[in-house]
Amino acid sequence: MTESDKIRVLVIGALGKMGRAVCDAVGAEPDMKLTAVVDAAAGDGVWTGPADGAARYVSLPECLQNEKLDVAVDFTAPDAVFGNVVACLRKEINCVVGTTGITEDQLKQIELECRLSGASCLIAPNFAIGAVLMMDIAQVVARYMPFCEITELHHDQKLDAPSGTALRTADMIAAARVDCPEPAGPEGSVARGLAHNGIPIHSVRLPGLVAHQEIIFGGQGQTLTIRHDSISRQSFMPGVVLAVRRVAGLDGLAVGLEKIM
């Protein structure tokens, strides 16, 4: 494969823990080229760690003006991701997004930007293959055991709670339940967690954790627990790499890694 045939990748948020891991993963793939990296935290112009050989920027607009890119990968923060994605789509750059906290209104705007530009965007609350399988299995279980609660556990630097994975899991379970039980409590914060679609979600934030989730289903005289653990951030890299390869084949916006599996 020649250099011109490789997928030209931009990583936004390259100095973060996930961003560094993505830089390493992309750089190791023979069909990809880590073309550019952006991180607003590098205001002094000093970069360390990943991204050797890639063009380095503090400003995303400057990067988009100077570089020719195929795919942008965003692992930044909830207050930055929407603007980043819109800017890339308007340059006809396909987007892979792992940042959570995007609102429903923002999703609608991203979908519109995809239609206007012809570019595609994949937003995934979790890039771990095992986590996607966990959610898929939970949909099957929910048809037979509709009563459940979710506990998600993450590192203490995670900004949002509940996690995007937990909210996505609750949505998928709610859609799969046939005889839907009465909600466990009002939507919002209640003593048994935050109820989303009638499913309580409990969030734990502690140092030493990476990303973990369990779903406990309860039935007459029995329980069934499905649990996934990300021991390190390397668990997300096969999913990110798969997304970078396949995002161009999507038609507009897709939410969930399962859409390309």
For the chain, the domains span 3-123+234-260, 129-230
Query: Which residues are known catalytic residues?
Result: 154, 158
Both tokens of 18, joined, read 């996930």
**Amino acid at residue number 157:** Q
Query: What CATH number labels 3-123+234-260?
Result: 3.40.50.720
The CATH number corresponding to 129-230 among 3.40.50.2300, 3.40.50.150, 3.30.360.10, 3.40.50.300 equals 3.30.360.10
Topology alike, domains 3-123+234-260 and 129-230: no
Contact between 17 and 233 under an 8 Å Cβ cutoff? The reply is: yes
Q: Sheet harboring 199-205: ordered strands across?
A: 188-190, 193-196, 199-205, 147-154, 211-219, 222-230
pLDDT tens for the chain, 261 residues long, are 687 889 999 999 999 989 999 999 999 999 999 999 999 887 655 666 556 689 999 999 999 999 999 999 999 999 999 999 999 999 999 999 999 889 999 999 999 999 999 999 999 989 999 999 999 999 999 999 999 999 999 999 888 889 989 999 999 999 999 877 665 555 666 666 888 988 999 999 999 999 999 999 999 999 999 999 999 999 999 999 999 999 999 999 999 999 998
Identify each DSSP E strand in the chain by its residue range: 7-12, 32-38, 55-57, 71-74, 94-97, 121-123, 147-154, 188-190, 193-196, 199-205, 211-219, 222-230, 253-255
Q: How far apart are CA 219 and CA 26, in angstroms?
A: 44
Query: What is the pTM assigned to this prediction?
Result: 0.85
Residue 114 half-sphere exposure, CB side, CA atoms within 13 Å? 22
